[in-house]
Amino acid sequence: MQYSKDGIQRRSLLQWAAATSAAPLMPALAQSAWPTKPVNMIVPFPAGGGTDAFARPLSAIFSKQTGKQLIIDNRGGAGGTLGAGIAAKAAPDGYNYFMGAVHHTIAPSMYPKLDYDLERDLVPLIFVAAVPQVLVVNPKKVAVNNMKEFLDFVKKNPGRLNYGSAGGGTSHHLAGELFKLQTQTFITHIPYRGAGPALQDLISGNVDMMFDGLGSSAAHIKGGRIKALMVSGTKRNPAFPDVPCSSEVGLPDYTVSTWYGIWAPKGTPSEAQGRMIEEVRKACQSDDARAVWAAQGADFPNLTGAQFDAFIKTELRKWSQVVKASGAKLD
């Protein structure tokens, strides 16, 4: 068979065109196989806290879905800001993520010199869980039957009780300061390096009470180790229908809640961001996750990307106003 010079040139051009047109697709095709190795997610509090209560089950479901580990890297300290700073500086290679919380929208108003900027250095991906705040006490140290008895006691005994928190500038701390402001009471704040250690001291009787996110307290309430007196908001939580909400006990404006979400370091490839969102959404909508979320009185808001970013901006403004109004300071 003979080939003309024009035929050879035409065929060569077609081969070159096919090769060059395929080239831009190669990274996308490679990225579509994500993850090809374990994924790391920084949780900025010690094990046993509220963030961990959602991160651990999410990790197990993610691994089952993808065949790759989602490694939880607990980096507690400074009200969750230490871990956030580490996450902001992590390699933006599609394999490093950060599970933050409401605390990180409070921190800019409480910590004057953060080594990261939440809006500049981290990209919001997906809103994972929302839970109301719950007032819990050690029943052996605070022997009250209901919220009315509790309020009578703290008003008659200013400074007698103390409350533990996940750290200065966290929602636990602000929830406590708001409660004091709205009830005109005084309760001493004791900050910890996370809700997990604070809860352990509450259970052992080293602190009297906490304003905790329901996610980390739920199992201990059900186990009888701590007693829930009130959940924040205007309605009771389905997981604890016998616990009154704040509006029922005369505190209609006490609407503090805790929420958790996932961010990526700025510069993370958009393909990896999209795949992470897809896998996390799928995991949160699974039957396994629904059962865990329901047991902890949590909702899955399913806000992603721009919607989650808009929510974060609203929270930053809200908490800035709350910090100013409450006069909350780092201890």
The reply to whether 65 and 100 lie within a common domain is yes
pLDDT digits (tens, 9 = 90+) for 95-117: 999 999 999 999 999 998 999 99
The reply to whether 98 and 117 lie within a common domain is yes
Q: What is the CA radius of gyration of the chain?
A: 24
> Bigger pLDDT: 257 or 125?
125
User: How many CB atoms are located within 10 Å of the residue 289 CB?
Assistant: 22
Helix (H) or strand (E) holding 70: strand 70-74
pTM of the model: 0.83
The reply to whether 126 and 266 lie within a common domain is yes
The CATH number of whichever domain residue 64 belongs to comes to 3.40.190.150
The reply to whether 230 and 141 lie within a common domain is yes
The reply to whether 88 and 178 lie within a common domain is no
Residue listed under structure tokens 């065949």: 67
The reply to whether 157 and 227 lie within a common domain is yes
In a domain, 15, yes or no: no
pLDDT digits (tens, 9 = 90+) for 258-270: 999 999 999 999 9
Select from 249, 271, 295 the last residue of a domain: 249
Contact 213, 172 (CB under 8 A): yes
Nearest to 166 by CA among 41, 261, 258, 45: 45
Q: Region 110-130: what's the mean pLDDT?
A: 96
Q: Region 29-41: what's the mean pLDDT?
A: 81
Q: What's the domain range around 315?
A: 36-130+259-326
In a domain, 77, yes or no: yes
The domain total for the chain is 2
The reply to whether 67 and 123 lie within a common domain is yes
The reply to whether 205 and 229 lie within a common domain is yes
Residue 158: band (very low, low, confident or very high) from pLDDT cuts 50, 70, 90: very high
For residue 139, say if its preceding peptide bond is cis, omega within 30 degrees of 0. Answer: no
Residue 327: band (very low, low, confident or very high) from pLDDT cuts 50, 70, 90: confident
In a domain, 14, yes or no: no
Select from 249, 270, 295 the last residue of a domain: 249
In a domain, 1, yes or no: no
The reply to whether 192 and 159 lie within a common domain is yes
In a domain, 109, yes or no: yes
The CATH number of whichever domain residue 163 belongs to comes to 3.40.190.10
Number of residues written out for the chain:
331
Q: Is 39 helix (H, G, I), strand (E, B) or coil?
A: strand
The reply to whether 165 and 214 lie within a common domain is yes
In a domain, 6, yes or no: no
The per-residue pLDDT for 3 is 36
Q: Is 40 helix (H, G, I), strand (E, B) or coil?
A: strand
The mean pLDDT of the chain is 90
In a domain, 30, yes or no: no
**pLDDT above 90: percentage of residues in the chain:** 81
In a domain, 297, yes or no: yes
The reply to whether 123 and 145 lie within a common domain is no
The reply to whether 169 and 114 lie within a common domain is no
> Bigger pLDDT: 32 or 64?
64
Residue listed under structure tokens 């300290």: 77
> Bigger pLDDT: 112 or 314?
314
Select from 249, 280, 298 the last residue of a domain: 249
pLDDT digits (tens, 9 = 90+) for 40-92: 999 999 998 889 999 999 999 999 999 999 999 999 989 899 999 999 999 99
